[in-house]
Structure 1
Amino acid sequence: MLFITNREPKGSIRFKRDRTYKFDLDKNAPSNSVYYCERLEKDSYKEIGANNLLSRLKDCEAKQLLFFIHGFSNLPEKHIFPRVEQLQGYFDQKQAGLIEVVPLIWPCDNDFGIIKDYWDDQKSADNSAFAFSRVLQKFMAWRDEAKEDDPCLKRINVLAHSMGNRVLRETLSKWDKYDLANGVPLLFRNTILMAADIVNESLEEGEKGRLISQSSRNVSVYYASDDLALRSSKISNLKNKVASRRLGHTGPEDMRKTQSNVYAIDCDNFNNKYDRPKGHSYFLDNGDDQIGAVFEHLFNTIKTGRVDVEGNINRKHILG
């Protein structure tokens, strides 16, 4: 499995191709450097470099790529890699050779106490944007340098879960501010905002999250009003004097203020059945290791490039 991270490794921070890479889980400060790596097996990784990783993705069997940005308080072997393996397994089960999943790993806190971890992880998510905006700029430069008769034809998608949406939002904001002249390019075929831990006005005009819809053909917002993890998020934000409902709780505050490529998918009928008791990680199985309704829906979206909703006028859909 290939992955990209801005978690600082043990030992030297300088790049050396094919060296052993080891996560330093006691450091949760985002690194200014980015590490392009391969997971060989559990707890075994090597650094392969940006050009090598991008070339391997270009040459891989899969027709499309899905970059996965995890949520808060997630550690590599305990949470992220097993989830990506499950995602990859379900995609291969539905259609082998269609999707290659690549995790983007940012540094979550390794302390105890959910509220403390949450606030620390918010800072880490914001500061990770500088590193991941460099990844986007690196990709654009690599793509532009490709030979005319050998371009990269992969379609690119992104799935951001929970606080990973904050990482995505801030990454596009920093990329636009420091590297681009006329706004973000249309880079992603599908952007999937799953149980998004950002304010529910984020996709409106004048908000930083507007760049998400500007960089994507389709934006699918999956939400559930009884997501208990996001209730904890709201408590933490109130503690720090931030009062606003979360996008993953309500969907967009006002669909009329979002671009026409934004779709809202209500998962309230089953999120707690799929993920007891939190109702937060409901996008994989149905709680019994069987592919769930959300995965079926997002798979169709990625495969076809069209978001299945009940009506194109209000762009809303109730699942389950």
Structure 2
Amino acid sequence: MRPISYSRATAVADAVAAVAADPTSDFLAGGTTEVDLLRQNVLLPRRLVDINDLPLTGIEDRPDGGLYIGALARMSEVAEAPAVRERFPMVAEALVLGASAQLRHMASMGGNMMQRVRCGYFRDASSPCNKRDPGSGCGALDGFNRGHAVLGVSEHCIATHPSDVAVPLVALDARIHTEGPHGRQVHALDDFFLLPGATPHLEHPLEHGELVVGIEVPGLAMARSSCYLKVRDRESYEFALTSVAAAVDLADGVIRDVRLALGGVATKPWRARRAEELLRGAPADIGAFRRAAREELAAARTTPLNAFKAELARRTVVRALATLTGTEHAS
């Protein structure tokens, strides 16, 4: 067992300073991912700074009808908050579907944004993985990749992003607030998650010691009737094969505005901007939904084992939109 030093921070500035000063250190919140990776020798910090005493647990109303969610708010608390359930049901649904009750009580919102991939090759310290060991190769490319990504992939990495709640947050244009050695920063969530490209080990634009302190969710009236649809191998706690976060503004059978994001099929929470573009001003019918879904998934790069994901994602988009618009759905 490798020795690891441990300390508790009571102020954000102290936590940032402690981690920034030591390149072998890391923050520790709920620990639902970090502890597993420590046990598997995937993460090798020599010092952990516990941030659970920091005052970052609030869920605050914003003047535009949005919310500011503290990074240490637990997933269960956010899922049960009346403001979240009423104004952003797709966020509440994604949180409930994203983990078991035990994990939701421990896992923090900030930690969820920073969680690492569940790719078996990343989590096996003896396998090649460009995320864990840059330049070593990607074992998943020619390995068992049934659950891997078909959008946003590169020849260096096809690992699927694991977060459920990040999917509706990307659809809502949420922003991540951080505190770091150079002060306060705000990152658009869609920019916060990086595509793997040639540098899959770089997952976020954060410098060492930069701490996620909150998530800002802008107000969006149509989000009140939104939904999060998740398809998985089993009904109990499981990662998504595909998922869709959707919100629709409908008037006289025409889609005035729409928000769509996909999970389970991409290397980051995937904002379906091409599908949104095609749906705005279109009739709310199955034909329009299918055309938009087909265009969004046209860029999919599949393997023999995960080729089913492209069609499954298309069907899930259609089903989510049909559910929201009350359109009869024939799969």
Max Rg structure: 2
Q: TM-score, normalised by structure 1?
A: 0.30
Whose RCO is larger (CA < 8 A, sep 6+)?
2
Q: TM-score, normalised by structure 2?
A: 0.29
